[in-house]
């Protein structure tokens, strides 16, 4: 490896890998802290609080007997609670693992022997804290950085923001960033002036003077005709150019903490609804699943938003927290939502599902999660044109 390749590798780790690992560590810690806090409140003994999987890199024991540790594979985490089954596993004199019934003191701190409502509360706490964390992150941004709002104190300039395909503006070769100075014989000072002259000129061929890249050029445009129903029920013919205005100056208005929390709740709720609608459209076939991304895409976006500044990174962290909380509530075995589904069945039946049924459920959940992981990873590789890069290496 030459020195340039080594520098590029270090740059990738610093600019992409590090922001991703920091984001993932924070979100996993918050999620598992929800489980841990409610488990402690319910009197369950927590044996392990782990960030990551695999070999322990660093760990310590607290005064309550919980082992807090960081592991070698930083792609998740878990909280291990005492008594997740009816028995206790221990080694006999020959070092072989055997199982024995729990003692009464052990049952008192066992997860399995807590009430159905307590177990459900422990499970739902993780995703719930992710939503709360997102609300607090948004609220912090709104109260410290402010809420973006357009400056309405100045008229919106007649600068092209976007051009609709096939519109009169597109036919006239107008481009984003063009500043319209004159239309016909009328000088244009604002986007409102432009709208007024276009509305009054349906089907009229007009000369347009624009400023583009420091140069003044002229083009001709013919506004299309559209019917607009007036308040009294009459129909008027108006002109349409097919452009939108470039957004004006954006101001950031700080909100008081109470208002900011309300806005944070609204933003989190709206994002949750949008995600659910997107998934609904995928299932219904109205939306392609090609945009579903996995760890690779998240890592890439983490690096990009980190370069935009702390506010953008925190906002992205809030978005990820909403996604993590929502995904974990899906009724898929292995996820928190799968456990909650089992508890709902237990509440209806008056007793837990049989061990065989739960085992098959967890097998299905494992297959589904692995398949989903492979699918989104494939999407990520296609999105990053990985296969084209590999092909070019051998051609």
Cα torsion through 324, 329, 335, 336, rounded to 10: 110
| Helix residue ranges, H only, 43-115 | 104-108
User: What token pair was written down for 135?
Assistant: 């609300």
d(Cα 386, Cα 301) in Å, to the nearest integer? 16
* Structural contact between residues 216 and 231, judged by C-beta atoms closer than 8 angstroms: no
What are the C-alpha distances in Å from 56 to residues 73, 80, 186?
Answer: 9, 15, 74
Q: What's the first-to-final CA gap in the chain, in angstroms?
A: 22
* Structural contact between residues 190 and 156, judged by C-beta atoms closer than 8 angstroms: yes
d(Cα 155, Cα 192) in Å, to the nearest integer? 8
d(Cα 84, Cα 35) in Å, to the nearest integer? 14
d(Cα 346, Cα 52) in Å, to the nearest integer? 31
Catalytic residues: 32
How open is the CA angle 328-21-11, to the nearest 5 degrees?
A: 145
């Amino acid at each position: 490896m030459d020195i340039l390749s080594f520098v590029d590798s270090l740059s990738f780790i610093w600019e992409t890998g590090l922001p991703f690992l920091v984001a993932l560590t924070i979100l996993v810690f918050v999620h598992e802290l929800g489980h841990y806090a409610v488990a402690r409140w319910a009197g369950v003994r927590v044996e392990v609080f782990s960030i990551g999987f695999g070999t322990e890199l660093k760990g310590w024991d607290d005064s309550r007997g919980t082992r807090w540790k960081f592991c070698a594979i930083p792609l998740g985490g878990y909280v291990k609670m005492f008594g997740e089954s009816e028995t206790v596993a221990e080694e006999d004199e020959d070092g072989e693992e055997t199982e024995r019934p729990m003692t009464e003191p052990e049952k008192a701190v066992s997860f399995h022997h807590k009430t159905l409502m307590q177990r459900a509360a422990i499970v739902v706490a993780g995703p719930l804290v992710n939503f709360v964390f997102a609300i607090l992150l948004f609220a912090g941004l709104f109260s410290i950085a402010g809420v973006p709002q357009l400056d309405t104190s100045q008229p919106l300039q007649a600068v092209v923001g976007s051009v609709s395909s096939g519109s009169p503006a597109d036919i006239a070769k107008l481009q984003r960033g063009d500043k319209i100075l004159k239309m016909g014989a009328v000088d244009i000072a604002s986007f409102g002036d432009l709208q007024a002259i276009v509305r009054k000129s349906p089907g009229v061929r007009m000369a347009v003077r624009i400023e583009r890249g420091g140069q003044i050029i002229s083009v001709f445009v013919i506004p299309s005709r559209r019917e607009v129903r007036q308040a009294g029920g009459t129909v008027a013919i108006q002109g349409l150019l097919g452009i939108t205005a470039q957004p004006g100056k954006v101001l950031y208005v700080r909100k008081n903490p109470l208002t900011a929390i309300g806005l944070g709740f609204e933003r989190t709720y709206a994002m949750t609804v949008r995600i659910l609608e997107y998934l609904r459209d995928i299932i219904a076939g109205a939306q392609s699943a090609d945009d579903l991304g996995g760890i690779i895409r998240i890592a890439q976006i983490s690096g990009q938003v980190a370069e935009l500044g702390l506010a953008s990174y925190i906002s992205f962290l809030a978005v990820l927290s909403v996604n993590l909380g929502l995904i974990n509530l899906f009724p898929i075995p292995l996820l928190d939502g799968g456990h909650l589904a089992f508890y709902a069945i237990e509440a209806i039946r008056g007793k837990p599902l049989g061990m065989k049924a739960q085992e098959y459920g967890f097998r299905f959940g494992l297959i589904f999660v692995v398949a989903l992981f492979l699918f989104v990873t494939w999407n990520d590789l296609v999105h990053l044109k990985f296969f084209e890069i590999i092909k070019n290496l051998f051609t």
